[in-house]
Amino acid sequence: MNLNSLKMFKEFVYADLFRHTGSTGLKIFLKSYFKIPGFRYMFWFRAVNYCVNINAVLALIARARLRHYTFKYGIMIPYTTQIDKGFYIGHFSCIVISSEVVIGKNVNVSQGVTIGKSFRGERQGAAVIGDEVYIAPGAKIVGKIIIGRNVAIGANAVVIKDVPENSAAGGIPAKIISMNGAEGYINNKV
């Protein structure tokens, strides 16, 4: 996402905060920034997206902080990745998302998730993830895959085909196992 204004930057940061805590405000922000690694990482991700539009020096500082947290927490999400409001990182470590991935609103990502790009075949490219999607620990989404709205991807699933709206997929390779979607997994929607 290209955050063009301070208002938009605050809107995205507070949306991410609300997903983690269910509320917003300066006190909650400070507490969450120091206690929730996933929120701290996303704060710097959003800061880079904002700073690249306003000041090269601030952008350089923000990118350095984001890089620091990339190594500290084991989360690799390039700042050019398009991520909408309300992104929730439940547990940090071993999260890798390609810069070409597009992620919708209110998406949950767990530890060990990879959303990668394929460089050959009919699925060459990167995934498009819809709104209100839950991606469980260890899941892998590879190639030009479309994940519909309100979808749950099961633990350790390997998704190599499109997943329709309001469904749950699991297994290797992932298959549709339910039509209940992400019901109960996405809390504090923005």
| Residue among 21, 5, 32 nearest 188 (CA) | 21
pLDDT digits (tens, 9 = 90+) for 115-144: 999 888 888 899 999 999 999 999 999 999
Q: What is 94-184's CATH superfamily?
A: Hexapeptide repeat proteins (2.160.10.10)
DSSP state of 28: H
User: Where in the chain are the domains?
Assistant: 1-75, 94-184
pTM: 0.93
With 80 as the cut, is the pLDDT of residue 147 above it?
A: yes
Residue 181 CA to residue 40 CA, distance in Å, equals 28
Instruction: Please state, for a pLDDT cut of 90, what percent of the chain lies above it.
Output: 88
Helix, coil or strand: residue 23 = coil
- Residue 175 makes CB contacts below 8 A (sequence gap 6+) with 169
